[in-house]
Amino acid sequence: MTRPLPFVLALSALAACAAVAACISVETYVYSAQKYDPAADCLATYTPVETVKGTGASAVCPPACLMVGSDLFVSTVCPPLPAIATAVPDDASDCKAALAAAKRGGTCDAPAEAGAEEAGVEDGAAESEAGDLDSGGEVDAADTSTPIIDAGDAG
């Protein structure tokens, strides 16, 4: 029995689409950053900014400034930046102050101890590369007051 040509073509097209779909994986990660408080001249703990498409986050890049709405953040998470964020030049006055706060280490809630640099502690060593982590390696839910926005919703 011979199948009609349109049926064979439709079946072939369906098989091709299924093969392509099987090879496409949509992976995301949470881009996190520290919000800068200019009045207190300090950084908040790491907080989620947005879900970003990609295979994983790397937090080994130099600190960089980004604006989300009217808020200035500092992050060591490597690009790409979230869709809702805009890069801020390192030489902008607010960014200079935020980067200086990052270099001092600590957070607004737990300022860096005076003399930590003299004791041999490297800048930012008290802050985890992946953010504010509890002993189990998970992001502390108590420190995530900013909602996570899905990159697909950024429009």
Q: pLDDT by residue (tens digit) across 43-55?
A: 999 999 999 988 7
CB burial of 24-51 (b: ≥16 within 10 Å; e: otherwise) equals eeeebebbbbbbbbeeeebbbbbbbbbb
Contact 76, 53 (CB under 8 A): no
Mean pLDDT value across residues 22-45: 86
How far apart (Å, rounded) are the C-alpha atoms in residues 119 and 116?
5
Q: What is the pTM of this model?
A: 0.59
Q: Which of 8-17, 24-33, 59-68, 73-82 has the lowest mean pLDDT?
A: 8-17
